[in-house]
Amino acid sequence: MYITKREELFTLVEERKNNQEEIKERLNSWVDRVYGIHAFSDIVHRHFVSERQMVAGVLARQVPSIMVEDISCFSFCKLLGVQPVALSLLRDSFTDKNPDKVRRINISWITWSKSNHLIRQYERVVPLSNKELEGMVIQNIQTKFGTKLMDYHMSLRGKVFDGDYLLQDASAFHSECLSRARSLPEYAWRETGKGNEERVYRNDIRAEDFSLLRSPAKWYYPLYLSLFLDGRMILLETYENPKASVPYARLLFERTMEQLKEGVGLLPLVVEISPLTKDLMDYNRHLLEQSFSWEKVLQSIEGEENLLSMYEKITREIIAFGRKREGG
C-alpha cells in the first residue's frame, strides 16, 4: 500500500493531477453517500489547497517541531522537489501512551562531544506531570516558560526552518466535517471548560458543541486519507512502528485504504518513512547553532530510487550532524 520507488511516485502524481476533476467528483459522491457531507471538496479547498502549484509532502503529527523525524521529512521533501508541509492536530489530547506526544513535552536533546560521543540530555518543558496532563487538549498545554506548548515548538522551528516549512492545523477541518455531516459517529470528544476532553454521545451533541468537538479516528480517518488521492499532496507515514498503539493504527490504515479503493477507485499516495524509534524522536541541538549542509546528504542519496532507503540515509545524516568528520 506504500509507494516505494521515486519514479513510481511522480508517475502516480502526474496521473492523479491530470484526472483531478474526475477524482473530485467520485470522492464527493462517495463522501456524500457515506457521511452525508455535501461538496466535500469545497471543505478541503478551504482548509488545505493553497495557490502554490508545487506538490506537498505532508508529515502529520499533533505537535510539529524539530525532532530528527521532522527535519528528515523536511529534507526528504526538499530533495524530492516537493513542498514540505507539517500538519498538526492541536485539538487532539495528550496521553503518555503515545511516545511521540511525550517527546514533545520531555525533550531529548542530543549533541556530539569533541571526542565524537553522542550525549543525550532530557529537558521537561512543562510544569505538570504526565498524569496531570492526561486527557488535556494539546492546544491548552502551557510550558514552564509561560507560553503555549505549540508556541514553544514554533519558536524552535523558526530557528531551524526560517519559515520554509509550511505548517497547517487540521483541527478546524475535522470540526467542519463533523458539523456538515448528516451521519455522525457514535460519539465524539468535546473540550471542557477546564481544557480537557470528555466523551459525548451522538444524541447529546448540541449545535454549539461542534467547534469544540474532535471525532474518533475510525470516523475521520477515511476523510483524512482522502486528502492524498488527487496528486496535490502525498503523505509521509509509517504504520510499522514496533511500539505504541500501532497494531490498531496499522489495521485502521489498511482498512481505510481498502475502503477508499473500493469507494473511490484509488489508493491514497502514501510514502513509507522509518518507524518512529528513539533516535528519530531526538532533537539535535547542533541544528540550532549552525546551518545544515545539503552536500553530504545529496552525495549519500545519489542514484537512490528506493524511497525508504533514501529517507533512512537522510535520517542518518541528521542524527550525525555536528559530529566531527574523521581526519577533520
Tell me whether strands 83-88 and 56-60 are parallel, antiparallel or unpaired.
parallel
* Three-class secondary structure of residue 153 per DSSP: helix
Question: For the chain, which residues make up each domain, given as ranges?
Answer: 6-320
pLDDT tens-digit series, residues 27-41: 999 999 999 999 999
The label of the residue with cell 460519539 reads 187
The rounded radius of gyration (Å) of the Cα atoms in the chain is: 20
pTM: 0.93
Tell me whether strands 233-237 and 270-272 are parallel, antiparallel or unpaired.
parallel
Distance CA 129, CA 314 (A): 34
Percent of the chain surpassing pLDDT 70: 95
Distance CA 221, CA 260 (A): 10
Query: Taking all residues of the chain, what is their mean pLDDT, rounded to a whole number?
Result: 92
- How is residue 282 written as a grid cell? 531526538
How many helices (H) and strands (E) the chain has is answered by 12, 11
> In sequence order, what E strands does 149-265 have?
166-169, 187-191, 197-201, 213-214, 233-237
Higher-pLDDT residue of 184 and 243 is 184
Give CA angle at 57 (111, 269), nearest 5°: 130
Residue 243 has pLDDT above 60, yes or no: no
Distance CA 102, CA 118 (A): 21
Distance CA 118, CA 320 (A): 9
CB atoms within 10 A of CB 321: 20
Distance CA 204, CA 181 (A): 16
Q: Identify the band that residue 326 occupies on the pLDDT scale cut at 50, 70 and 90.
A: low
pLDDT tens-digit series, residues 258-271: 999 999 999 999 99
